[in-house]
Amino acid sequence: QQQVKQSPQSLIVQKGGIPIINCAYENTAFDYFPWYQQFPGKGPALLIAIRPDVSEKKEGRFTISFNKSAKQFSLHIMDSQPGDSATYFCAARSSNTGKLIFGQGTTLQVKP
Amino acid sequence: DGGITQSPKYLFRKEGQNVTLSCEQNLNHDAMYWYRQDPGQGLRLIYYSQIVNDFQKGDIAEGYSVSREKKESFPLTVTSAQKNPTAFYLCASRIGGAGGEQYFGPGTRLTVT
């Protein structure tokens, strides 16, 4: 079964720090890698996404780094703020079925 | 106001009862999805539908049923056969074809006692 492994499970940083969340996948038949942000009791919201032909994508304070040969991708949050405290999910979309396979999630706490 | 709506936000049922969760979208999206979220397990796909009157099982379809009679609506029924139904249920939709991001509704928290 296709899998996406996400780490760490939880992360605590000080305001202004740069939390990094890592994901690794086991199947090469993925064509799109989104990250979602979820606040407690809410649905996940699309944050940023990357395609495998790009090594890095930046949107505001959020950056995705993608290493196709290592089958790994990561999310960096620059100048993190307490309002960034949330659960973050990486995902990979199957090019065959269009389904998203999600990582297990990372709960981020940014301390003031 | 466009988007995906799920109702109700909280739902309580007694064990042994079937319950139907509503999901409606006015985004004109072709594909719709149901996920279940449990603490520490991420999102797991229950059922999905690419077009009206067609749907496929996801990874954890046992104990659930769906219908897709209209493009805008994709209700999920949690049957009494689902052994552990208490969870946070999320509906999502995506425009059809090869591209398109998947957008989520606000979720329904189901508690069965």
Q: What are the tens digits of pLDDT across the range B8-49?
A: 999 999 999 999 999 999 999 999 999 999 987 789 999 999
Q: Using CA atoms, how far apart are residues A81 and A110, in angstroms rounded to an integer?
A: 6
pLDDT band at B97; cut points 50, 70, 90: low
Determine, for residues B90 and A46 on separate chains, whether the beta-carbon distance falls below 8 Å.
no
- Model confidence over A33-67: pLDDT tens digits? 999 999 999 999 999 999 999 999 999 999 999 99
Beta bridge partners of B65: B77
Contacts of B44 in chain A (CB under 8 A): 102
- Is B32 within 8 Å of chain A by CB? no
Is B98 a residue whose pLDDT tops 80? no
Residue of chain A whose alpha carbon sits nearest to that of B58:
A99
Q: Give every CB contact of residue B91 below 8 A, 6+ residues apart in sequence.
A: B4, B6, B21, B23, B25, B32, B33, B34, B35, B74, B76, B104, B105, B107
Q: Using CA atoms, how far apart are residues B85 and A41, in angstroms rounded to an integer?
A: 17
pLDDT band at B1; cut points 50, 70, 90: low
Is A1 a residue whose pLDDT tops 70? no
Determine, for residues A6 and B42 on separate chains, whether the beta-carbon distance falls below 8 Å.
yes
